[in-house]
């Protein structure tokens, strides 16, 4: 069962106010050059079918309820990937009055894939990591606090430091 | 007693469940792999449909209450059992026994999964499910006319509704015309491009399946795979030459089904989805010519005989 979970991650892609850059990179990771289907990845249209929720964008006020609803619609065991710097740190939109981000204030995030936008290979690595977490966690409740994984290279945008101060304050 | 054992063996072992379930996964894999290869990708590993099935079975089951919840739980199970029964009826092995009218039963069982899909979409009460179900209903009214006329014409030319009698027919132009008409209907029956309207992703999410999750979705995947086996198997038994050795017959059946799956997948990946009105026009105006020709020549052959 664990092995099957690891080998068959179905994604649901959710945009929470993204500029569309990361969304294009998610699609790019499914195209012939990167071909994420080799790992069993399928991009599903319905959150009910998905195992992994891929969130892009800096989480605007309007998107918060939608994200919580969709997170509830994914049946467990499930995992969440924050794709791009925006859901991780709100990126260049930090301090904007239209934002309610970052994402982990609202739902538990398992893997961060930073980058603006991240490369498709980083996204695929993130999906593989998330699938491993999913397989290891199984049907146990997601409340078990695990340190989120960070995948890919840091772009040294210093947003995380600023954001950490923000969250602490 | 002997008949009972034979029919149980057909239903449960070959070409029934023990053969049909792995074959369903295999055909689902062949479809995905062929589409991937056509797009210049490598595609999923061989065991992928099996992994998907096991994973879906292990997911949480949605809580459903009330009559519509019970119905939603029932539809995928009915679809799987009907599709498995349809596979079990196929006259693959020589002298495997059959009965007068088993063709009618096979056609009815082949139709049950699509009825279940329509009902499931409406009982899920999701807007996407309802659109998908409406499309499936329109589609099944369109292709079934051609599909049934083609099969009935083959049957009428031989005065029989026995499947094994039809499978042993000598090749004739009429039979090939009928097989061609059936092949044109298969993409619509299996929801493949260019007729993948009911589950049109990017448009209406997953259509009737939108609200399904976990083990119920696994049952839908399985019933889709079994539909693949039953529909391609029907064509394969009509094409297959008459053989006496049982294992040669089984091998020829599997090989022919495989090539039909490959053909349908290549067509699916080479085409784009048509609109619903174009699809209906295609079946009612263009393809029905095949069916009318087939029925006309069948009647003509009967009058001459």
- Predicted confidence band of residue A153 (pLDDT cuts 50, 70, 90): low
A141 touching chain B per CB within 8 A: no
Distance of alpha carbon A36 from alpha carbon A33, whole angstroms: 9
Is the CB of residue A96 less than 8 Å away from at least one CB of chain B? no
Report the gap between the CA of A53 and the closest CA in chain B (Å).
Answer: 15
- How far, in Å, CA of A59 to CA of A107, rounded? 11
Question: What is the C-alpha end-to-end distance of chain A, expressed in Å?
Answer: 43
For A130, residues 6+ apart whose C-beta sits below 8 A from its C-beta are: A9, A52, A79, A80, A81, A110, A111, A149
Structurally, how many domains does chain A consist of? 1
Q: Which domain holds residue A66?
A: 2-168
| CA distance, residue B43 to nearest chain A CA (Å) | 5
Q: Which of A5, A32, A48 sits opposite B55 (nearest CB)?
A: A5
Q: Contacts of residue A38 in chain B, CB cutoff 8 Å?
A: 41-45
* pLDDT, tens digit, 9 for 90 and up, residues A26-53: 999 988 888 888 888 988 888 888 989 9
CB A57 within 8 A of CB A17: yes
pTM for this entry = 0.87
Chain B: give the shortest CA distance to residue A19, in Å.
Answer: 19
What ipTM was estimated for this complex?
Answer: 0.84
Q: Is A95 on the interface with B (CB under 8 A)?
A: no
Residues in Cβ contact with B225 at an 8 Å cutoff, skipping those fewer than 6 apart? B21, B23, B24, B25, B27, B28, B49
Provide the sign of the torsion angle of the four alpha carbons B126, B130, B133, B139, taken in this order.
negative
Contacts of A48 in chain B (CB under 8 A): 62, 210-213, 217
The enclosing domain of A57 has a CATH number of 3.40.50.12280
Crossing angle of helices A21-28 and A120-137, rounded to 10°: 80
The tokens describing B172, both together, are: 């004739």
Nearest CA-CA partner of B264 in B197, B200, B192, B201: B192
Per-residue pLDDT of chain B (305 residues; tens, 9 = 90+): 677 787 777 777 777 788 888 989 999 999 999 989 988 888 899 999 999 999 898 888 888 888 888 888 889 999 999 998 888 888 777 666 677 778 888 889 988 999 999 998 888 888 888 888 888 888 888 888 888 888 888 887 777 777 777 777 776 777 787 888 888 888 888 888 788 777 767 778 788 888 888 888 899 999 999 998 988 888 888 887 777 777 888 888 889 889 999 999 998 888 888 888 888 888 888 888 877 887 787 778 777 76
Gap from B151 CA to chain A (nearest CA, Å) = 36
Q: Which residues of A touch B202 (CB under 8 A)?
A: 45
Is the Cβ of B117 closer than 8 Å to some Cβ of chain A? no
Total Cβ atoms within 10 A of residue A84:
28
């Amino acid at each position: 069962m664990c092995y099957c979970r690891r080998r068959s991650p179905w994604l649901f892609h959710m945009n929470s106010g993204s500029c569309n850059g990361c969304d294009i990179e998610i699609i790019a990771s499914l195209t012939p050059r990167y071909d994420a289907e080799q790992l069993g990845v399928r991009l599903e249209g319905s959150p009910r079918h998905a195992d992994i929720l891929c969130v892009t964008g800096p989480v605007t006020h309007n998107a918060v309820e939608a994200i919580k609803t969709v997170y509830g619609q994914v049946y467990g065991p499930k995992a969440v990937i924050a794709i791009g710097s925006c859901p991780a740190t709100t990126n260049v939109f930090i301090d904007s009055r239209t934002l309610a981000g970052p994402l982990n204030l609202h739902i538990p995030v398992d893997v961060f894939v930073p980058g603006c936008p991240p490369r498709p290979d980083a996204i695929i690595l993130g999906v593989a990591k998330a699938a491993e977490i999913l397989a290891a966690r199984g049907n146990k409740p997601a409340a078990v606090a695990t340190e989120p994984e960070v995948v890919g290279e840091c772009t040294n945008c210093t947003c995380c430091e600023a954001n950490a101060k923000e969250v602490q304050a | 007693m002997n008949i009972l054992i034979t029919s149980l063996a057909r239903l449960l072992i070959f070409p029934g469940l023990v053969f049909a379930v792995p074959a369903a996964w295999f055909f689902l894999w062949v479809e995905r792999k062929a589409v991937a290869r056509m797009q210049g990708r490598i595609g999923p590993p061989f065991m992928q449909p099996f992994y998907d099935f096991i994973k879906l079975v292990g997911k949480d089951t949605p809580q459903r209450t009330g009559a519509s919840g019970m119905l939603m739980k029932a539809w995928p199970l009915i679809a799987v059992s009907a599709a498995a029964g349809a596979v079990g009826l196929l006259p693959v092995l020589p002298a495997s026994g059959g009965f007068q009218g088993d063709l009618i039963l096979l056609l009815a069982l082949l139709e049950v999964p699509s009825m279940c899909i329509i009902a499931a979409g409406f009982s899920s009460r999701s807007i996407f499910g309802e659109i998908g179900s409406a499309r499936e209903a329109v589609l099944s009214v369109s292709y079934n006319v051609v599909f049934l006329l083609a099969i009935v014409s083959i049957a009428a030319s031989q005065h029989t509704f026995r499947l094994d009698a039809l499978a042993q027919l000598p090749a004739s132009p009429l039979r090939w015309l009928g097989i061609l008409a059936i092949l044109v209907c298969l993409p619509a029956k299996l929801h493949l491009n260019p007729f993948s309207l009911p589950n049109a992703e990017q448009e209406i999410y997953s259509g009737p399946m939108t609200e399904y999750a976990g083990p119920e979705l696994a049952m839908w995947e399985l019933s889709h795979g079994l539909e693949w086996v039953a529909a391609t198997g029907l064509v394969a038994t009509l094409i297959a030459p008459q053989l006496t050795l049982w294992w040669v017959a089984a091998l020829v059946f599997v090989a022919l089904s495989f090539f039909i799956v490959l053909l349908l997948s290549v067509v699916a990946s080479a085409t784009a989805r048509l609109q619903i009105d174009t699809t209906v026009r295609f079946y009612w105006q263009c393809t029905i010519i095949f069916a009318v020709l087939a029925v006309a020549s069948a009647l003509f052959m009967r009058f001459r005989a």
